[in-house]
A and B are shown apart, each in its own frame.
Chain A
Amino acid sequence: MTSAARMAVFTMALAGLVVALLWAFGALAPVGDVAGAYGQLLNRVATNERNATDVVTAVNFDYRGFDTLGEEFILFASVAGVAMILRPSRRQRFTREQRDAVEHLPGRARYPTSNAVRLMALAMIGLDVVFGIDIVVHGQLTPGGGFQGGVILASAPLLAYLGGDVPTLRRIAPRPLVAMAEGIGAACFVVIGLVGLLAGAAFLENVVPLGPRPPGVLSSGTIALVSLATGLEVSAGFVLLLLTFVEESLQRTSKGEAGGSP
């Protein structure tokens, strides 16, 4: 196919796409106009029914908790998959000299981490941890929750890596501990669901006392608990992802080859 013919086909397809999109946009509801009766209903009753002011979190962790359980295990399975695919490869082996020669990318100067970056990372780690915990424990009250707070918490080891080095990252986030935390977080979500069954209600039904009114950190029953479990699972999952990538990409020697290094 010539270049001109390809362009003609592309232009026709583009024109078709534009027309179809404009047609679809024309039929969209105005911004902020919620068509579903379910959303309107939850907006009215959720705050009182679950003693939680963030209806989004109430939907995610309670009304549609089972969906979220599935989503959390999608993340769990993805992290497990990445950790499995990126396990240290034994097939490709280079001599020590070859590895030393490629330690630094060709054409790139050796710059140590600047003091500005180190100071910035150091100053931000504490803030990041506090902010992450704040977002996790206030999930039922304000925007945020286990997932959002979890990824914020997972940024703390990342900052340590940015301002420090790989050994620092490994020291503050040992792989076995992180992997265990991820499993415990995921399991806690299921256990909270099973508590509902044990209490004679449905799986993931909110059977825990809803706490003081007006709602605070301890209110909303299982929503706050699921938020904590999700926070643990998500933060550990993302840190595990980071550890796996860092080990695979940046470490020259895998565990099996490390015998010769001091």
Chain B
Amino acid sequence: MSGGDRVVLDGLRVLALALVAAAGPAVVLARDPLKQTIAVSFYGLLLALMFFVYEAPDVALSQIVVGAVALPLMVLLALVKIRRNQAAQALAAREARRAAGEAP
């Protein structure tokens, strides 16, 4: 590897580390779970980039799919489930109140 290549590689590594360092707190600071899911997906991609510039392409390949697709998807589907249950319960409670109001 020539000196120029080494400088480019080191630059990419510093860039990848900086991006990961910035994206980590961003995931935590995005308090809304939906926004957090998008942020963690992006964070997963940045991790994959970091693994790649640190000469771990095998790990980067799995990280892309697991970190950027599979994990956010599971969280998203869980969020849908939670919201749907909350909405159904709120509706059921409202109907129960209405029925109780009409009964006497």
Chain A interface residues toward B at CB < 8 A: 31-32, 54, 56-57, 92, 94, 98-99, 101-102, 105-106, 135, 143-145, 147-148, 151-152, 154-155, 158, 238, 241-242, 245-246, 248-250
Contact = CB atoms under 8 A, between A and B. Distances in A.
Interface of A is mostly: helix
Interface string B60-97: 11100110011001100110110111011001100100
B64 to A, nearest CB: 8
Given A31-B54, A143-B57, A238-B70, A102 B91 contact: yes
B78 A245 contact: yes
Contacts of A145: 58
Contacts of A56: 58
A158 B70 CA distance: 9
B55 interface: yes
B100 to A, nearest CB: 17
Contacts of A148: 58, 61-62, 65
Interface residues of B, number: 26
A32 B58 contact: no
Given A151-B66, A238-B70, A250 B77 contact: yes
A245 B79 CA distance: 11
Contacts of B62: 147-148, 151
A36 to B, nearest CB: 15
Interface string B2-32: 0000000000010000000000000000000
Given A105-B80, A106-B87, 12 more contacts: A31-B54, A99-B88, A101-B91, A102-B91, A143-B58, A144-B58, A145-B58, A148-B61, A154-B70, A238-B70, A245-B74, A245-B77
A52 to B, nearest CB: 13
A205 B75 CA distance: 40
A154 B71 CA distance: 13
A102 B82 CA distance: 11
9 contacts: A54-B58, A57-B58, A101-B87, A105-B87, A143-B58, A148-B62, A238-B70, A241-B74, A249-B77
Contact of B92 (A98, A106, A135, A250): A98
Given A99-B88, A105-B87, A250-B80, A32 B55 contact: yes
A145 B62 CA distance: 10
Contacts of B58: 54, 56-57, 143-145, 148
